[in-house]
Amino acid sequence: MTTDTLSERVGSDGLSARLETAQIFRVVEEELAATLFIDVHTHLFMPSLGKLGLWGIDELVTYHYLEAELFRSSRIKPEQYWPLSKREKADVIWKALFVENAPVSEATRGVVAVLRAFDLSTDNTDLSQARAFFGAQEPRAHIRRVFALAGISEVVMTNDPLDPDEAPLWEHGADPDSQFRPVLRLDRILNKWSDQWQILSSQGYGVYADGRGTTALEVRRFLGEWYARMKPVYMACSLPDAFAFPEEGIRGRLLAEAVLPACREFGIPLSLMIGVRYQVNPALRLAGDGAGKADLRALERLCADYPDNRLLVSVLSRENQHELCVYARKFSNLMPFGCWWFLNNPSIVEEITRERLEMLGTSFIPQHSDARVLEQVVYKWRNTRRTLAPILANSYRLLTDDGRPVSRADVRRDITRLFRGNFESFCGSR
């Protein structure tokens, strides 16, 4: 249901009327369902970026979250798995995680919920019915249907200008799409400089392996050119648990002398996703990263020393969540967002979201999907709504108990702020 149709049904009196305690949960559920969210971080791609955009059952079943689970429930070894075709991989995972075991993990349940959303069987022993269904979809109409099922109006992409498959598409003028907002992702530049600097150098930028001379200025010029090409809503980088700032290394220098000044110049935030332990098991490839507790004093320095930069921050370790809230209370240029990757499970989302509401009110962005496969937004946003409804309702119940009545208009304003307004105002787009 759209917000408009809901308000017609409710009427303006109903909007401002005090809610009885017994009504609160239902109203929160209705408002969560009626609000179209902005998905502030995904790995989805707009149609003009062609084959980069993943969708359909074989991609859903071979999501790297499921690949990690495969090696726990099957005897297959990574070296036997990787040479298989995409279909063969999906068949192996389906058999191990969906046929021979009950798909109770968050990532496996997600596939079940997607099948159900499209009225497909959820307990078939093979994927033929689902393959026939997804194979018959027209991509653009399918995207519209998926967004409607997920209750989202737009998604934010992850666009790396040094990705050899992606960069040429932008250079040839990929058609923008208002439902897919670009993000200038800096992982290759900031985390893999020793492999990447020669690519910039070969493109005519005066950069050096050790970062001397014109390097930082030239990286800034590179960012400026990509800003003009992509019009990103923010720049972004994932960072290890050992991230430190300030630091003498190349990453610290490029951050201070190229990235932060460029973000200030363009008036956009920098998103930092802190706490990855890259490739703790390289045999698992994309599924081989782990998580570690970071020293958030690096974030304290960034917030304090760069008050004119805005930082959108997600931290991967559960142990860092409370500190992140404390820092957000100190620095209004810090916006916590999402329950990222290993945290996107109902038990942990519940804990983190309650803590954030208690410490920050509605001044944070509760969740992003991190979807890599289009249809994942259906289950990820469904799960977010399901987990958040009782948490929000409980906050309003406590508030009512403490003496402040709550109306549907309050609930609508808060949900809109959490899932749209905070992002829009932090990114300067509204």
Q: How far is the CB of 210 from ligand RAT (least distance, A)?
A: 27
C-beta of residue 236 within 8 angstroms of C-beta of residue 159: no
**Could you tell me where the beta strands, DSSP code E, fall in 12-109?**
37-39
- Out of 341, 390, 399, 400, the only residue in the binding site for ligand RAT (CB under 6 A) is 341
Which 19-48 residues touch Zn ion, going by CB under 5 A? Answer: none
Q: Which of 178, 164, 228, 222 lies closest to 48, judged by CA?
A: 178
C-beta separation of 54 from 146 below 8 A? no
Among 221, 251, 253, 372, contact with ligand RAT (rule: CB under 6 A): 372
Among 218, 370, 410, 414, binds Zn ion (CB under 5 A): 370
Comparison of 235 and 393: residue with beta carbon closer to ligand RAT: 235
Residues 288-317 that bind ligand RAT (CB under 6 A): none
Minimum Å gap between C-beta 151 and ligand RAT is 21
Strands (E), 304-365: 311-315, 334-336
Near ligand RAT by CB under 6 A: residue from 370, 375, 410, 414: 370
Residue 320 binding result from ligand RAT, Zn ion, none, given CB thresholds of 5 to 8 Å by partner type: none
CA angle 161, 164, 170 (to 5 degrees): 50
For residue 154, give the amino acid letter.
Answer: E
- In terms of C-beta density within 10 A (0-12 exposed, 13-18 middle, 19 or more buried), how is residue 360 classed? middle
Tell me how far, at minimum, the Cβ of 298 lies from ligand RAT, in Å.
17
Contacts of 202 (CB under 8 A, 6+ apart): none
Q: Does 177 engage in binding with Zn ion (CB under 5 A)? A: no
Task: List the single partner that 238 binds among Zn ion, ligand RAT, none, CB under 5 to 8 Å by kind.
Answer: ligand RAT
Q: Is the peptide bond before 246 cis (omega within 30 degrees of 0)?
A: yes
Q: Which stretch binds Zn ion (CB under 5 A): 77-85, 363-371, 380-388, 419-427?
A: 363-371
What is each CA distance from 325 to 71, 235, 247, 315, 333, in whole angstroms? 35, 22, 24, 11, 13
From 142-150, 364-372, 378-386, 422-430, give the range in contact with Zn ion by CB under 5 A: 364-372
In the complex with ligand RAT, the residue whose CB is nearer, 40 or 169, is: 40
Q: What's the helix, strand, coil split of the chain in %, to 5?
A: 55, 10, 35
CA 7 – CA 21 distance, rounded (Å): 21
* Sole binder of ligand RAT in the list 254, 273, 303, 325 (CB under 6 A): 273
**Minimum distance, C-beta of residue 120 to ligand RAT, in the bound complex (Å):** 24
Total number of residues that touch Zn ion (CB under 5 A) = 1
Binding to Zn ion (CB under 5 A) within 305-334 occurs at: none
Q: Which residue, 369 or 422, is less far from ligand RAT as judged by CB?
A: 369
Selection from Zn ion, ligand RAT, none that 342 binds (CB < 5 to 8 A by kind) is none
Euclidean distance between CA atoms 339 and 318, whole angstroms: 9
Q: Choose between 170 and 341: whose C-beta lies nearer to ligand RAT.
A: 341
User: 159 or 416, CB closer to Zn ion?
Assistant: 159
Cα Rg of the chain (Å, integer)? 22
What is the edge-to-edge ordering of all strands in the sheet holding 152-156? 37-39, 152-156, 180-181
Considering only 108, 215, 238, 395, the residue that binds ligand RAT (CB under 6 A) is 238
- End-to-end, the C-alpha distance of the chain in Å comes to 24
Q: How many residues does the chain have?
A: 430
* Strand duo 184-185 + 235-240: pairing: parallel
Nearest to 233 by CA among 280, 188, 185: 185
Among Zn ion, ligand RAT, none, what does residue 341 contact (CB within 5–8 Å per kind)?
Answer: ligand RAT
Chain centroid to CA 279: how far? Answer: 20
Minimum distance between the CB of residue 24 and ligand RAT, rounded to whole angstroms?
Answer: 33
In this complex, which beta carbon is closest to ligand RAT, that of residue 238 or of residue 395? 238
Residues within window 202-231 making contact with ligand RAT, judged by CB under 6 A? none
* Count of residues that interact with ligand RAT, criterion CB under 6 A: 5
- Beta carbon of residue 126, minimum distance to ligand RAT (angstroms, whole number): 27
Q: Which is nearer to Zn ion, 10 or 352 (CB)?
A: 352
Q: Which lies closer to ligand RAT via its Cβ, residue 56 or residue 275?
A: 275
Q: Which residues bind ligand RAT (CB under 6 A)?
A: 238, 273, 341, 370, 372
User: Where on the chain is the footprint of Zn ion (CB under 5 A)?
Assistant: 370
